[in-house]
């Protein structure tokens, strides 16, 4: 079974919306405009590219990343990696042609089936709504979180508010950086 890893820039109060400057969110760009940049805090992002073998994302994140990431040197490893987009509305003719193989999955059942295939870890970038659904379905195996020392209030959150049984996490890696940023890596106990 493949490992499904959710990776996120997240505020202390759980917001994941607009970290890189995406339009339409009041606090957009909070990862770089409100916290001093400390390069060593982002080592995990480079490691994710080396260790993952596929990318999974929702439609909204695909539509945000696909026009930009294929030509960015810092995401070069992702270009040739298979990509999977969970969407009930996206069509094949809406996929970009310069970002490698992309497959549209129509349901969480198809995500579960993908996890059953041979291969290495699958990384989930962005995709707040998808992350909540994957968590509720018990499909996430690991979280890579860079927790920013900010309270953003309103905004899309990473974690579901669904009333469900406790989900136990095991802290497997952590570090605190000089700017207050925290790396937290958790395995989900299944």
Using CA atoms, how far apart are residues 149 and 184, in angstroms rounded to an integer? Answer: 13
Q: Residue 75 above 90 pLDDT?
A: no
For residue 154, report the phi and psi dihedrals to the nearest 5 degrees.
Answer: -70, 155
Is 120 in contact with 51 (CB distance < 8 Å)? yes
Phi-psi region of 178 (alpha: psi -120 to 50; beta: other; left: phi over 0): alpha
Q: Return the pLDDT at 190.
A: 80
Q: Residue 7 above 90 pLDDT?
A: yes
Is 122 in contact with 52 (CB distance < 8 Å)? yes
Least confident of 4-18, 62-76, 92-106, 109-123: 62-76
Q: Residue 11 above 90 pLDDT?
A: yes
| Mean of pLDDT values over 4-17 | 96
Q: Return the pLDDT at 34.
A: 83
Note if the pTM is more than 0.85. Answer: yes
| Mean of pLDDT values over 61-85 | 91
Strands (E) across 33-159 are located at 54-58, 83-86, 102-105, 122-124, 142-148
Q: Return the pLDDT at 10.
A: 97
Say what the alpha-carbon torsion angle 164, 60, 90, 99 is, to the nearest 10 degrees: -120
């Amino acid at each position: 079974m493949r490992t499904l890893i959710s990776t996120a820039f997240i505020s202390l109060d759980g917001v994941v919306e607009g970290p890189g400057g995406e339009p339409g969110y009041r606090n957009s760009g909070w990862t770089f405009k409100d916290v001093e940049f400390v390069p060593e805090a982002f080592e995990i992002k480079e490691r994710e590219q080396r260790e993952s073998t596929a990318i999974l994302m929702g439609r909204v994140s695909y539509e945000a990343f696909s026009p930009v990431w294929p030509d960015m040197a810092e995401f070069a490893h992702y270009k040739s990696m298979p990509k999977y987009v969970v969407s009930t509305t996206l069509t094949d003719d809406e996929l970009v042609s310069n970002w490698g193989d992309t497959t549209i999955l129509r349901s969480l059942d198809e995500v579960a089936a993908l996890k059953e295939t041979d291969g290495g870890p699958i990384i989930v970038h962005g995709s707040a709504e998808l992350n909540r659904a994957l968590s509720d379905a018990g499909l996430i195996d690991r979280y890579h979180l860079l927790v920013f020392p900010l309270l953003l209030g309103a905004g899309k959150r990473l974690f579901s508010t669904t009333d469900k049984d406790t989900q136990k996490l095991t802290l497997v890696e952590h570090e605190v950086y000089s700017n207050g940023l925290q790396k937290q890596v958790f395995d989900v106990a299944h």
